[in-house]
Amino acid sequence: MPRLTRRSIVAAAGSLALPRFAVAQADRRPAVTVAVQKISNSNTLEVLREQSNVGERIFFTSLWEGLIGRDWLGDQGPVPLLATAWRRIDDRTVELDLREGVRFHNGDVMTVEDVVFSFGRERMMGDTRPLLAGETLRNAEAVPPAEGSRALPREVPAIARRIWPALDRVEAVGRNRVRFVNAVPDVTLEGRISRYGSEICSRRAFEAAGSWLAWARAPVTTGPYRVASFRPDSELVLEAHDEYWGGRPPLRRIRFVEVPEVAARVAGLLSGEYQFACDIPPDQIGEIERNARFEVQGAPILNHRIICFDKNHAQLADPRIRRALTHAIDRQAIVDSLWAGRTVVPKGLQWPFYGQMFIADWSVPAHDPALAARLVREAGYRGDPIPYRCLNNYYTNQVATAQILLEMWKAVGLNVELQMVENWQQILAPGPTRAIRDWSNSALYSDPVSSLTSQHGPNGGQQQWGEWRNEEFNRLAQELETSTDRPRRRAVFARMLEIAEREDPAYTVLHQNATFTAKPRAIRWRQPAAFAMDFRAQAWGGIES
C-alpha cells in the first residue's frame, strides 16, 4: 500500500471534479437582468456592423475596448484604455504604447499583431484603399452576411472607410508600440482611434471562426464581460471575464432581454423580474419613483435627435419646403411636453465640448409658423402627401414626437402622412415613399468631423443612402477632414452648418437626446451621461441588504 503524504493528498484532492452546484456556490457575485428596447439592429455584436445607440449600451463598457477610451462616468473625454500613452509624430502620424498583460476572452495575451490585424483588410477594410482628396465611397447598402461565408458584408468596409477615409496603414514599431499613418493630414486622428468602430479583437479567434456571421455573433474581445449566449431579437447573456486587465468584474452575469414595450419593461422592473429598465420616458419617472424602493437615473447625452430629409422626393426637391418643415417646429414645446424639461434644444448639430470649434452664436431654425406658411405658398405646394417613415418607439417618445410634428406641419399647410414601419431596412429603403425619417447623431469625439461629416458628409450614411447631396458642402467636408489650419476649420464648419441646416436642409435638429434608466434604490450604480451602461468595478457599488 503506497504511503500517504501531504503532497499526494493535496494532488488527489486537486484532481477531483467538484459538483456543479459547489462551483456555482463559490461565486457569490450578483447577476442582473436588463430590459432594453432593442438588443441589436443588425442581429450581430460586431462594432463594424452594429453602429447604433443600442450597440453602444451593450458593447461599452462591457464587451469591446479600444486603444483610447472614454471617461464614461466623467466628462466623456479621452482616457487611456488598451494603450497607456500616445503621441503625435506629425500631421499624419500617431504612435501609441500598448498596455501589457491584456488578455482576450479566449485567454490569449493581446499582441501588437492583434492591433494591426484589427485595422487590416481581412477584418475591416476589405478591398478598399485610402480615399484621395475629393473621392467618395461607392454606395454600399447593408447586405445580410451569408451563414457560411467568411467574406465581409459590404457594409463593413463602407463603415470602416467612413471612420477611416484616408488611413494608409497601422504598423508595429516595437513589441508593444503601434503607429497609425494617414494618407493625408488629419488633426482628428486621436479622436478616430477613440471612436466607435476602432476597437481591438483577437486575430486568432477571428480567423478560427467558421464564418463572418459566427464571429460577429460571438466576438472575442478584451472587455470585462464575454459573450455566453446570443439569441437575436431576444436575449444576450454576458459572463464575467475574470482575467480582465482592469480587475475582476463585480458581476458574474449580465442578461440583456429585448422588451419593446415601455409598460412591460416597467412592470418587469417593479415585479423583480428585471433589475434595470432602460429608455424610460420622462412621464413615467414620477410613477416609478412613487414606489420608494425604485429610482430613475439619467440626463442629456452627447446625442441629438434629428429629422432627415430625402431631397429626391418630389415634394422635397424645393428647399423651401424643407425650410418650411424646419420653421414649423416648436422644439421647446416638444421638450416641455414630452421630456418634462429634462433635456434642451441645442445650438444645431454641435456640442459645447467641441471647444474652440463650437459655434456659440449658431441656433436651430426659429419656430416661425408665418415664415413656414409663406415658404409653402412660394414653393407652389398643392397639398400632395409627404411620407414620414417612423419606427415604434425605437427612440424614446418617438411616436408621440411624430404625432406632434404632424400637427405642427399641418398648421402651416403641409400634408405629412405618418407611415409606421418595422425595421431600419424599411426606413432606409429607397423609393417614392422615402421623404422624411427619424435619426439621431452622436458626437463620438470633440470635433465636428465625428458628427456632421461622419453622418451627413460625402461618405456619411445620408449621402451613401442617396437622400441628400450638396456640392459646396462636400468640398468643405473634405477640407474639414484634411486642413490643419484651426481658424479656417472653424469657418468651414460654420458654413457647413449654414448649408445643411438652413439653405439646403439635409436634416433638422429636434433636441438633445436624454436617456433614463430605472432600477431599485438598493443597487448602488450610476448611469453614465451616455447610452452605455457601465458595469465595471468603478461603476458598481454593490447591493444594499
Q: How confident is the model over 137-151, as pLDDT tens digits? A: 654 444 455 566 788
Which residue, 260, 244, 326, is CA-closest to 36?
Answer: 260
- 520-543 pLDDT, tens per residue? 999 999 999 999 999 999 999 999
Q: Is residue 542 part of a domain?
A: no
DSSP tag of 109: B
Q: Is residue 491 part of a domain?
A: yes
In angstroms, the CA 337 to CA 32 distance is 33
Q: Is residue 414 part of a domain?
A: yes
Report helix angle 331-338 to 398-411, nearest 10: 140
In angstroms, the CA 423 to CA 310 distance is 18
Look at residue 9 in the predicted model and tell me its pLDDT.
29
Q: Is residue 158 part of a domain?
A: no
In angstroms, the CA 140 to CA 159 distance is 9
Look at residue 545 in the predicted model and tell me its pLDDT.
80
Q: Is residue 149 part of a domain?
A: no
Cell output for 497: 452648418
Look at residue 5 in the predicted model and tell me its pLDDT.
37
In angstroms, the CA 398 to CA 281 distance is 10
CATH number at residue 488: 3.10.105.10
Ranges under pLDDT 50 in the chain:
1-24, 139-143
Name the 3-class secondary structure at 425: helix
Q: Which stretches of 310-351 are DSSP H helices?
A: 319-327, 331-338
Look at residue 26 in the predicted model and tell me its pLDDT.
79
Look at residue 191 in the predicted model and tell me its pLDDT.
97
Q: Is residue 489 part of a domain?
A: yes
Determine how many CB atoms are found less than 10 A away from the CB of residue 317: 12
Look at residue 22 in the predicted model and tell me its pLDDT.
38
In angstroms, the CA 17 to CA 113 distance is 37
Q: Is residue 146 part of a domain?
A: no
Q: Is residue 136 part of a domain?
A: no
In angstroms, the CA 235 to CA 136 distance is 38
Q: In terms of residue numbers, what domain contains 478?
A: 302-513
**Domain total for the chain?**
1
Burial 185-200 (b: 16+ CB within 10 A, else e): ebbbbbbbbbbbbbbb
Non-local (6+) Cβ contacts of 2 within 8 A are 8
- 14-68 pLDDT, tens per residue? 333 333 333 445 799 999 999 999 999 999 999 999 999 999 999 999 999 999 9
Name the 3-class secondary structure at 513: strand
